[in-house]
């Protein structure tokens, strides 16, 4: 076997290894993981799956990050000690569990626009998420639609 053939075979093996690793890494991400615009596109939320198997989301971009020349803070939070938290980096989704192909349940969603936390279910619909926030039972709540930002 010539030297050129050996180099070609090595190159093919390297390419196959890289491709298989990237496919494997992609297969390990969940459908809802990634960047999402909120319903009015004023924020981007990154949803990740943590080591406990649950899904969490935090604000990673704001269309208007400043208020009166200062970074926006969580000023409407019910807990006074949390009112100085920056809106950028603010956790807004917590403890969601994959409950089937396109359903995520048992979580909470925090609304910084009123400082309240609600129970939350998410339905994955391709490039959108139907996010249902509610108190008590899902019947008493509202649904918003987030769109994929990537």
pLDDT tens for 37-64 read 999 999 999 999 999 999 999 999 999 9
Rounded to whole angstroms, what are the CA distances from 6 to 16, 17, 20, 51? Answer: 15, 17, 21, 42
Q: Is the pLDDT of residue 137 over 90?
A: no
Distance CA 94, CA 106 (A): 9
Q: Hey, is 125 helix, strand or coil?
A: coil
Q: What is the pTM of this model?
A: 0.79
Q: Is the pLDDT of residue 28 over 90?
A: no
pLDDT at position 81: 96
Q: Contact, 30 vs 137, CB < 8 A?
A: no
Ranges assigned E (strand) in the chain: 34-37, 43-49, 55-62, 66-67, 70-71, 91-98, 103-111, 116-124, 128-134, 141-148
Per-residue pLDDT band for 117 (boundaries 50, 70, 90) equals very high
Q: Contact, 125 vs 32, CB < 8 A?
A: no
Proportion of the chain above pLDDT 70, given as a percent: 81
pLDDT at position 24: 43
Nearest CA to 90 out of 121, 67, 65 is that of 65
State the number of CA atoms in the 13 A half-sphere of 56 facing the CB. Answer: 13
pLDDT at position 101: 87
Dihedral of CA atoms 100, 105, 110, 116 in degrees, nearest 10, equals 150
Per-residue pLDDT band for 13 (boundaries 50, 70, 90) equals low
How does the average pLDDT of the chain come out, rounded? 88
Please write the tens of the pLDDT for every residue from 62-84.
999 999 999 999 999 999 999 99
């Amino acid at each position: 076997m010539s030297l050129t053939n050996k180099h070609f075979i090595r190159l093919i093996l390297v390419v196959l290894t890289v491709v298989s690793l990237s496919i494997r890494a992609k297969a390990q991400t969940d459908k809802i993981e990634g960047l999402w615009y909120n319903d009015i596109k004023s924020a981007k939320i990154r949803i990740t799956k943590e080591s406990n198997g649950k899904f969490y989301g935090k604000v990673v971009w704001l269309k208007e990050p400043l208020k009166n020349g200062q970074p926006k803070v969580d000023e409407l939070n019910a807990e006074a000690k949390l009112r100085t938290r920056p809106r950028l980096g603010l956790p807004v989704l917590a403890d969601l569990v994959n409950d089937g192909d396109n359903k995520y349940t048992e979580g909470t969603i925090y609304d910084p626009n009123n400082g309240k936390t609600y129970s939350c279910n998410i339905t994955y619909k391709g490039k959108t998420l139907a996010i249902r926030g509610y108190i008590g039972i899902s019947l008493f709540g509202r649904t918003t639609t987030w769109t994929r930002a990537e």
